[in-house]
């Protein structure tokens, strides 16, 4: 994992998503030269990978929390009252 990837992993999912939106806006602006576009694209790829890692981690945590005592997944309807605040 590169140093830039580690820096992205230090950010929250929401921070990475905002940074990714900024990257997309910069690329779509058409104001970057080829080298800047490539560097910005690479940054975006790192942000997407970081977001994916964070989402995978959350998915694994949810799976653990929703297994029955025998380790089988159980489906449970989510209700607003159960949401942590």
CATH number at residue 26: 1.10.287
Q: Is the predicted pLDDT of residue 3 greater than 80, yes or no?
A: no
Q: Which domain holds residue 27?
A: 3-67
- Residue 79 inside a domain? The answer is no
pLDDT tens-digit map of 56-84: 988 888 877 777 778 787 766 655 554 45
CB atoms inside a 10 Å sphere around CB 35: 8
Longest dimension (CA), the chain: 57
> Taking a C-beta distance cutoff of 8 angstroms, is the pair 20, 48 a contact?
yes
- Residue 54 inside a domain? The answer is yes
Whether the predicted model's global pTM rises above the 0.85 cut: no
- Residue 35 inside a domain? The answer is yes
**Whole-number Å distance between alpha carbons of 45 and 38:** 10
- Residue 43 inside a domain? The answer is yes
- Residue 28 inside a domain? The answer is yes
- Residue 73 inside a domain? The answer is no
- Residue 63 inside a domain? The answer is yes
Q: Is 2 exposed, middle or buried (0-12, 13-18, 19+ CB in 10 A)?
A: exposed
> Taking a C-beta distance cutoff of 8 angstroms, is the pair 26, 68 a contact?
no
Q: With bands split at pLDDT 50, 70 and 90, how would you rate the model's confidence at 85?
A: very low
Number of domains in the chain: 1
> Taking a C-beta distance cutoff of 8 angstroms, is the pair 65, 24 a contact?
no
pLDDT tens-digit map of 10-27: 899 999 999 999 999 999
Give me the mean pLDDT over the 40-63 stretch: 91
**Helix/strand/coil for 78:** coil
Give me the mean pLDDT over the 25-31 stretch: 96
Q: Is the predicted pLDDT of residue 38 greater than 60, yes or no?
A: yes
């Amino acid at each position: 994992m590169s140093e830039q990837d580690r820096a992205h992993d230090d950010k929250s999912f929401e921070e990475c998503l905002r940074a990714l939106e900024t990257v997309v806006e910069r690329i779509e602006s058409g104001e970057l030269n080829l080298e800047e576009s490539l560097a910005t694209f690479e940054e975006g790829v790192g942000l997407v990978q970081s977001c994916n890692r964070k989402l995978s981690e959350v998915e694994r945590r949810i799976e653990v929390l929703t297994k029955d005592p025998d380790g089988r997944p159980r489906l449970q309807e989510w209700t607003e009252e159960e949401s942590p605040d």
